Protein backbone atom coordinates (compact mmCIF):
# COMPACT_ATOMS: atom_id res chain seq x y z
CA UNK A 1 0.00 0.00 0.00
CA UNK A 2 1.19 3.58 -0.65
CA UNK A 3 2.48 5.56 2.32
CA UNK A 4 -0.38 8.03 1.99
CA UNK A 5 -3.83 7.80 0.39
CA UNK A 6 -3.82 8.16 -3.35
CA UNK A 7 -5.98 10.80 -4.98
CA UNK A 8 -8.46 9.91 -7.70
CA UNK A 9 -10.10 12.53 -9.91
CA UNK A 10 -13.38 11.40 -11.45
CA UNK A 11 -15.12 13.56 -14.03
CA UNK A 12 -18.86 13.27 -14.50
CA UNK A 13 -19.15 12.28 -10.84
CA UNK A 14 -22.33 14.12 -9.90
CA UNK A 15 -24.57 11.12 -10.55
CA UNK A 16 -24.93 7.76 -12.22
CA UNK A 17 -21.93 5.53 -12.82
CA UNK A 18 -19.51 8.28 -11.82
CA UNK A 19 -20.99 8.38 -8.32
CA UNK A 20 -20.67 4.61 -7.91
CA UNK A 21 -17.06 4.78 -9.04
CA UNK A 22 -16.39 7.53 -6.51
CA UNK A 23 -17.82 5.37 -3.75
CA UNK A 24 -15.72 2.37 -4.77
CA UNK A 25 -12.39 4.17 -5.05
CA UNK A 26 -13.06 5.86 -1.72
CA UNK A 27 -13.75 2.45 -0.18
CA UNK A 28 -10.40 1.35 -1.65
CA UNK A 29 -8.77 4.05 0.49
CA UNK A 30 -8.38 6.80 -2.08
CA UNK A 31 -9.28 10.43 -1.64
CA UNK A 32 -11.79 11.26 -4.36
CA UNK A 33 -12.08 14.53 -6.22
CA UNK A 34 -15.57 14.51 -7.73
CA UNK A 35 -15.62 16.85 -10.72
CA UNK A 36 -18.62 17.80 -12.83
CA UNK A 37 -20.38 20.78 -14.42
CA UNK A 38 -23.12 20.04 -11.88
CA UNK A 39 -22.65 20.14 -8.11
CA UNK A 40 -21.24 16.90 -6.68
CA UNK A 41 -22.41 17.58 -3.13
CA UNK A 42 -24.56 14.44 -2.99
CA UNK A 43 -21.70 12.27 -4.21
CA UNK A 44 -19.40 13.74 -1.57
CA UNK A 45 -22.06 13.27 1.10
CA UNK A 46 -22.47 9.59 0.22
CA UNK A 47 -18.73 9.00 0.20
CA UNK A 48 -18.36 10.73 3.56
CA UNK A 49 -21.29 8.82 5.07
CA UNK A 50 -19.58 5.58 4.04
CA UNK A 51 -16.40 6.65 5.84
CA UNK A 52 -14.45 7.85 2.81
CA UNK A 53 -12.80 11.12 1.85
CA UNK A 54 -14.02 13.28 -1.02
CA UNK A 55 -14.20 16.85 -2.23
CA UNK A 56 -16.31 18.37 -4.98
CA UNK A 57 -14.98 20.62 -7.74
CA UNK A 58 -17.07 22.27 -10.41
CA UNK A 59 -15.41 21.69 -13.77
CA UNK A 60 -16.36 21.97 -17.42
CA UNK A 61 -14.02 19.51 -19.14
CA UNK A 62 -14.46 21.30 -22.47
CA UNK A 63 -13.11 24.58 -21.08
CA UNK A 64 -9.33 24.87 -20.80
CA UNK A 65 -9.47 27.47 -18.03
CA UNK A 66 -11.92 25.38 -16.01
CA UNK A 67 -9.70 22.31 -16.31
CA UNK A 68 -6.69 24.40 -15.26
CA UNK A 69 -8.64 25.44 -12.16
CA UNK A 70 -9.28 21.76 -11.44
CA UNK A 71 -5.58 21.01 -11.82
CA UNK A 72 -4.64 23.86 -9.50
CA UNK A 73 -7.15 22.69 -6.89
CA UNK A 74 -5.89 19.11 -6.96
CA UNK A 75 -2.25 20.19 -6.88
CA UNK A 76 -2.82 22.58 -3.98
CA UNK A 77 -4.88 20.22 -1.82
CA UNK A 78 -3.28 16.86 -2.61
CA UNK A 79 -0.03 17.49 -4.46
CA UNK A 80 -1.51 16.15 -7.68
CA UNK A 81 -3.59 13.25 -8.96
CA UNK A 82 -2.66 9.58 -8.90
CA UNK A 83 -5.72 8.29 -10.75
CA UNK A 84 -7.79 10.01 -13.43
CA UNK A 85 -11.15 8.58 -14.47
CA UNK A 86 -12.41 10.32 -17.61
CA UNK A 87 -16.12 9.63 -17.24
CA UNK A 88 -17.79 12.85 -18.44
CA UNK A 89 -20.04 12.33 -21.47
CA UNK A 90 -22.55 14.10 -23.67
CA UNK A 91 -25.18 12.39 -25.77
CA UNK A 92 -27.16 13.15 -28.92
CA UNK A 93 -29.45 10.76 -30.75
CA UNK A 94 -30.84 11.07 -34.25
CA UNK A 95 -30.05 10.30 -37.84
CA UNK A 96 -27.20 12.09 -39.57
CA UNK A 97 -29.65 14.38 -41.35
CA UNK A 98 -31.48 15.22 -38.12
CA UNK A 99 -28.40 16.13 -36.10
CA UNK A 100 -27.06 19.67 -36.03
CA UNK A 101 -23.45 20.79 -36.01
CA UNK A 102 -24.07 21.97 -32.45
CA UNK A 103 -25.14 18.42 -31.48
CA UNK A 104 -21.99 17.00 -33.03
CA UNK A 105 -19.67 19.53 -31.43
CA UNK A 106 -21.20 19.12 -27.98
CA UNK A 107 -20.75 15.33 -27.95
CA UNK A 108 -17.26 15.38 -29.45
CA UNK A 109 -16.14 18.30 -27.29
CA UNK A 110 -17.05 16.57 -24.03
CA UNK A 111 -16.00 13.11 -25.13
CA UNK A 112 -12.74 13.92 -26.93
CA UNK A 113 -11.61 17.46 -26.14
CA UNK A 114 -12.38 16.88 -22.47
CA UNK A 115 -10.31 13.71 -22.52
CA UNK A 116 -7.34 15.62 -23.93
CA UNK A 117 -7.61 18.57 -21.56
CA UNK A 118 -8.01 16.62 -18.32
CA UNK A 119 -5.27 14.15 -19.19
CA UNK A 120 -2.86 16.89 -20.18
CA UNK A 121 -3.58 18.74 -16.94
CA UNK A 122 -3.37 15.85 -14.48
CA UNK A 123 -0.77 13.49 -15.94
CA UNK A 124 2.24 15.67 -14.96
CA UNK A 125 1.78 14.91 -11.26
CA UNK A 126 1.71 11.19 -12.08
CA UNK A 127 4.99 11.56 -13.97
CA UNK A 128 6.55 13.28 -10.95
CA UNK A 129 5.53 10.39 -8.71
CA UNK A 130 6.45 7.66 -11.18
CA UNK A 131 3.03 6.06 -10.76
CA UNK A 132 -0.37 6.74 -12.26
CA UNK A 133 -3.57 5.36 -13.68
CA UNK A 134 -5.60 6.95 -16.46
CA UNK A 135 -8.92 5.17 -16.97
CA UNK A 136 -11.10 6.29 -19.84
CA UNK A 137 -14.71 5.37 -20.49
CA UNK A 138 -15.83 4.16 -23.90
CA UNK A 139 -18.96 2.14 -24.69
CA UNK A 140 -19.88 -1.21 -26.17
CA UNK A 141 -21.80 0.74 -28.82
CA UNK A 142 -18.47 1.06 -30.63
CA UNK A 143 -18.80 -2.64 -31.47
CA UNK A 144 -22.53 -2.63 -32.18
CA UNK A 145 -24.20 -1.52 -35.40
CA UNK A 146 -26.82 0.70 -33.81
CA UNK A 147 -28.37 3.53 -35.84
CA UNK A 148 -28.84 7.08 -34.66
CA UNK A 149 -25.69 7.38 -32.56
CA UNK A 150 -23.08 8.72 -34.97
CA UNK A 151 -21.57 11.47 -32.75
CA UNK A 152 -21.58 9.29 -29.65
CA UNK A 153 -20.02 6.23 -31.30
CA UNK A 154 -17.47 8.45 -33.06
CA UNK A 155 -16.45 10.00 -29.75
CA UNK A 156 -16.20 6.61 -28.05
CA UNK A 157 -14.06 5.28 -30.90
CA UNK A 158 -11.76 8.24 -30.36
CA UNK A 159 -11.57 7.36 -26.66
CA UNK A 160 -10.26 3.90 -27.55
CA UNK A 161 -7.69 5.34 -29.96
CA UNK A 162 -6.59 7.94 -27.42
CA UNK A 163 -6.17 5.20 -24.82
CA UNK A 164 -3.94 3.08 -27.04
CA UNK A 165 -1.76 6.00 -28.14
CA UNK A 166 -1.35 7.52 -24.68
CA UNK A 167 -0.48 4.14 -23.16
CA UNK A 168 2.63 4.00 -25.35
CA UNK A 169 3.61 7.52 -24.38
CA UNK A 170 3.21 7.11 -20.64
CA UNK A 171 4.35 3.54 -20.07
CA UNK A 172 7.98 4.50 -19.36
CA UNK A 173 6.78 6.69 -16.47
CA UNK A 174 4.98 3.93 -14.58
CA UNK A 175 1.59 5.16 -15.78
CA UNK A 176 -0.99 2.84 -17.30
CA UNK A 177 -3.81 3.97 -19.57
CA UNK A 178 -6.84 1.75 -20.04
CA UNK A 179 -10.43 1.94 -21.08
CA UNK A 180 -13.69 0.50 -19.73
CA UNK A 181 -16.53 0.00 -22.21
CA UNK A 182 -19.83 -0.50 -20.37
CA UNK A 183 -23.01 -1.77 -21.91
CA UNK A 184 -26.41 -0.18 -21.42
CA UNK A 185 -26.42 0.42 -17.67
CA UNK A 186 -29.47 1.11 -15.55
CA UNK A 187 -28.97 4.40 -13.73
CA UNK A 188 -31.70 6.74 -12.58
CA UNK A 189 -31.17 8.85 -15.67
CA UNK A 190 -31.07 6.04 -18.26
CA UNK A 191 -34.05 4.29 -16.70
CA UNK A 192 -36.11 7.48 -16.78
CA UNK A 193 -35.26 8.01 -20.45
CA UNK A 194 -35.54 4.44 -21.73
CA UNK A 195 -37.70 2.32 -19.42
CA UNK A 196 -40.79 2.54 -21.61
CA UNK A 197 -38.89 1.54 -24.77
CA UNK A 198 -38.22 -1.99 -23.56
CA UNK A 199 -34.58 -1.59 -24.57
CA UNK A 200 -33.20 -2.87 -21.27
CA UNK A 201 -35.06 -6.16 -21.61
CA UNK A 202 -34.13 -6.59 -25.27
CA UNK A 203 -30.46 -6.04 -24.60
CA UNK A 204 -30.49 -8.44 -21.66
CA UNK A 205 -31.86 -11.28 -23.78
CA UNK A 206 -28.87 -10.97 -26.15
CA UNK A 207 -26.23 -11.10 -23.41
CA UNK A 208 -24.48 -14.18 -22.06
CA UNK A 209 -25.63 -13.01 -18.63
CA UNK A 210 -29.32 -12.28 -19.30
CA UNK A 211 -30.05 -9.44 -16.91
CA UNK A 212 -29.85 -5.67 -16.97
CA UNK A 213 -26.47 -4.15 -16.20
CA UNK A 214 -26.27 -1.94 -13.11
CA UNK A 215 -23.48 0.38 -11.94
CA UNK A 216 -22.31 -2.13 -9.35
CA UNK A 217 -21.26 -4.39 -12.25
CA UNK A 218 -18.62 -1.85 -13.26
CA UNK A 219 -16.91 -0.97 -10.00
CA UNK A 220 -14.71 -4.07 -9.75
CA UNK A 221 -13.09 -3.46 -13.13
CA UNK A 222 -12.38 0.14 -12.22
CA UNK A 223 -10.95 -0.85 -8.85
CA UNK A 224 -8.59 -3.33 -10.49
CA UNK A 225 -7.38 -0.92 -13.18
CA UNK A 226 -6.72 1.74 -10.53
CA UNK A 227 -4.67 -0.63 -8.37
CA UNK A 228 -1.09 -1.83 -8.16
CA UNK A 229 -2.29 -5.21 -9.43
CA UNK A 230 -2.86 -3.69 -12.88
CA UNK A 231 0.72 -2.46 -13.24
CA UNK A 232 1.34 -4.51 -16.41
CA UNK A 233 -2.06 -3.91 -18.04
CA UNK A 234 -2.13 -0.93 -20.39
CA UNK A 235 -3.59 0.17 -23.70
CA UNK A 236 -6.55 -2.16 -23.21
CA UNK A 237 -10.30 -1.76 -23.64
CA UNK A 238 -12.25 -3.98 -21.26
CA UNK A 239 -15.86 -4.48 -22.30
CA UNK A 240 -18.18 -4.96 -19.32
CA UNK A 241 -21.61 -5.73 -20.74
CA UNK A 242 -22.58 -9.23 -19.64
CA UNK A 243 -21.15 -10.82 -22.76
CA UNK A 244 -23.09 -8.95 -25.43
CA UNK A 245 -19.89 -7.99 -27.24
CA UNK A 246 -17.41 -10.87 -27.42
CA UNK A 247 -13.91 -10.22 -28.75
Residue among 130, 128, 232 nearest 177 (CA): 232
For the chain, give the number of residues: 247
Q: CB within 8 A of 123, min separation 6: which ones?
A: 84, 132, 134, 170, 175
Is residue 34 classed as helix, strand or coil in its secondary structure?
strand
Phi, psi of 38 (to 5 degrees): -105, 155
**Identified catalytic residue from 152, 158, 181, 215:** 152
How many CB atoms lie under 10 A from the CB of residue 205?
8
Q: Does 91 participate in catalysis according to the annotation? A: no
Q: CB within 8 A of 168, min separation 6: which ones?
A: 235
d(CA 10, CA 84): 6
The edge-to-edge listing of strands for the beta sheet with 132-137 is: 53-58, 31-36, 7-11, 83-86, 132-137, 175-182, 237-240
Active site residues: 152
Amino acid sequence: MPSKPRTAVITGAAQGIGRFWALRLASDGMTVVAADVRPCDETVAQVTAAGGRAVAVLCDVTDEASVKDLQDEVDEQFGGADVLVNNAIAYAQGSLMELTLADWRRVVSVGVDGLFLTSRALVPSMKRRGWGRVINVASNTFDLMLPGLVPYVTAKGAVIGFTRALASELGPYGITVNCIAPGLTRTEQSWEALAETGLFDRMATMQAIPRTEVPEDLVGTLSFLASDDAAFVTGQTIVVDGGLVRH
